[in-house]
Amino acid sequence: MFFRRTGEKAVLKAEVVHPGRRRFLALGCACCAAAALPAIPASAAPAGVQRHLDLARQAASSDLGTYLRLGNTALTPPAAPQINLAPLINQPVPPPGQAFDNLYFVGARWVSAWVIRTSAGLILIDALNNNEEAERVIDAGMRRLGLDPSEIKIVVVTHGHGDHYGGIGHIKRVASPKVIMSDADWTMMATKLEFDAPEWGRPPQRDVSVADGERIVLGDTSIEVLETPGHTLGTLSLLFTVRQGRQEHRALLWGGTAFNFGAQPDRLRRLRGYIDATARVRDIARQQKVDVFISNHAGYDEAIGKLATKQSANTNPFVIGTETTMRALTVMNECAQATMEAWKA
């Protein structure tokens, strides 16, 4: 399908590349709940659970411990995450930064927002918790980086939890973007929110839906959309090319990481979806030589520290390599399998 705005050079196009593939299931935010917990102990679980935790620990090695924390969920009974948002939202705002020539971080400390610069305007990925935060963090951060928020043509909301859509009202006040989400999460937001909080802005009205295999195209930039259910039914992860000088890298932004759906009756189905999605995308990462793996929570990808390091480093710390990207997906996959074993019992 095609979205074209007449009178503008910008073209927003989404074409079906793999029309046969659809979502698998659902999964739930507290994206960062796991990131606040200590790493899993060496052996504290039944054998079936422990086997997967051991494989996760092996894959995490010494550099992917942020993802290994997902395994903590396997050590507790399924339950709704307990999150106190105010202290998370009120943390000092980290400096915005440029990860690549065409990719910018304009996030908060707890939850991230990214901007992709194209030849026909800007694509914002996620809108933070509320309008005040979107103005104070995204808008101000973009201006510091020399980006004009009124040039945002598209907002991709990775999933239907308020820490990712809550600031959309401010973005719509300063620009006139299309808002893109999965059909499943549009439906969830229009019917019954999985999570809500007084700190979160209201969900946007349904706008553009994309499905697995479709592409979002703006100017010279094409984003391949992957549905990676689990965290929510319709979590979107995004594949795109980032540039640094003459070098190009393939980036994967994972759209929903934590297993915060323990209170949902379909939690085992959601885990199954997450396990399948991480395994499938690990294959895609190998095929496409994905060497940049980023998140919508800096507690996982350590984006804030990497931006600080990048100032003085000769190499870009966001380029972790394909093997490390695949290991990260293996850690996530094995932690999900461990949690499945634990919750089945």
Give the interface with Zn ion as residue ranges (CB under 5 A).
29, 31, 161
**Shortest Cβ 8–Zn ion spacing (Å):** 32
- Residue placing its CB nearer to Zn ion in the complex, 29 or 236: 29
Round to whole Å and give the CA distance between 137 and 58: 37
| Cα distance between residue 49 and residue 63, in whole Å | 22
CB of 322 to Zn ion, least distance (A): 26
- Between 29 and 252, name the residue whose CB sits nearer to Zn ion: 29
Query: For Zn ion, which is the closer residue by CB, 32 or 106?
Result: 32
Please, what is the minimum distance in Å from the beta carbon of residue 296 to Zn ion?
A: 8
Closest CA to 107 of 125, 121, 123: 125
Q: Are 113 and 123 in contact (CB under 8 A)?
A: no
The tokens of 109 are what?
Answer: 């400390």
Q: Quick count: other Cβ atoms within 10 Å of Cβ 109?
A: 18
Write out the two tokens for 246: 């003459």
Q: Which residue is nearest to Zn ion (CB)?
A: 29
| Cα–Cα distance for residue pair 129/138, rounded to 1 Å | 11
What is residue 130's three-state secondary structure?
coil
CB closer to Zn ion, 44 vs 263: 263
Phi/psi at 319 (5° precision): -85, 100
CB of 69 to Zn ion, least distance (A): 16
Q: Which is nearer to Zn ion, 175 or 238 (CB)?
A: 238
- Shortest distance (Å) from residue 233 CB to Zn ion: 12
